Amino acid sequence: MDFSHIPAFLGGFFDFMDSPQWRAWPFNAGYGEHILPAVARLLFVTLIMGVILLFLRLLFGPGGPLRDKELEEEARRETERERAELKERLEKGDISESEYRIGMKRLKD
């Protein structure tokens, strides 16, 4: 095998990465550029953060595989308590039927 072209390739690659367009990408200072690259960087970082938050929500959110089972049980008991309290308030006449339905819809699993 002939590896004589690798030093030239690596030299060209590092020259390319050291060019002003790629230096400190994507967090360069932004001086002298138009608004679109700055907005694109902001959207890129926002997208990355959104993906991380969604991933954590899926793992540790309600019904997630890594969520503590005690939290699930506690949330279920709290929902049952709030439903019973809402039903008592309806029976006492403190709230109307529509308020009861709205409250139950809010407490839906």
Question: CA 71, 73, 76 angle in degrees (round to 5)?
Answer: 110
pLDDT computed for residue 109 by the predictor: 54
- Give pLDDT < 50 ranges for the chain: none
Predicted pLDDT at 33: 62
Q: Comparing C-alpha atoms, which of 63, 64, 95 is closest to residue 82? A: 95
pLDDT of the residue at 49:
98
pLDDT digits (tens, 9 = 90+) for 13-29: 777 666 666 555 566 55
**Residue 93 confidence (pLDDT):** 87
Asked if residues 109 and 79 have their Cβ atoms less than 8 Å apart, the reply is: yes
Q: What is the pLDDT of residue 10?
A: 78
- Model's pTM, two decimal places? 0.47
- For residue 41 the two structure tokens come to 């960087």
